[in-house]
Structure 1
Amino acid sequence: MKTKVVQPSADHERLRLALCKVIRRKAPDMPADQILAIFCQLVGQLIALQDQRRYTSEAIIDLVQANIEMGNQHAIDGLMNETAGSA
């Protein structure tokens, strides 16, 4: 099954931004690798909750991979568009 790419809706973006805000508020000093580990566990739990009658394991992993790539690109785009420098 080919993964269908859907652009994030306004609701999706609001949820993503709200999660980022919670992280900054609840764990401002937690190292990024630990935050990543926590979210990986959450993703694992969400994968386990998917309807196996609708989605194959391969389709779900493709979905996760595609969204990781989109998230990476979003972060890179944000860094490229920053006007503040460190020099």
Structure 2
Amino acid sequence: MRIVLPLMHRRRNPLAQALSLVLGLLVIGVLMVFGLAVAGVLMVGGALWLGWRQWKRGGLTRSSARQAREPEVLEGEYVVIHHSRPATHHGSR
């Protein structure tokens, strides 16, 4: 099955060319305005959502102050393994 598209040829009439150019620019302009409106709504909605989430969690100042006085420390016991000798198990003696 072969898809055959009609041949695209330029219109000979200069008025038709000018009208198609204006119509194309108008369509592009409408799409740009619509895209900017959607982007604005998304930005405002995202900012409101983040603000609401921060307000609900208690704000940035309390969480940053809590992190400043309570640092996260990972405690544990560590064993250094030297590559020059094989590792031995302490429980097998």
- Shorter-chain TM range is 0.3 to 0.5
Structure (1 or 2) with the larger CA radius of gyration: 2
TM-score (norm 2): 0.33
TM-score (norm 1): 0.35
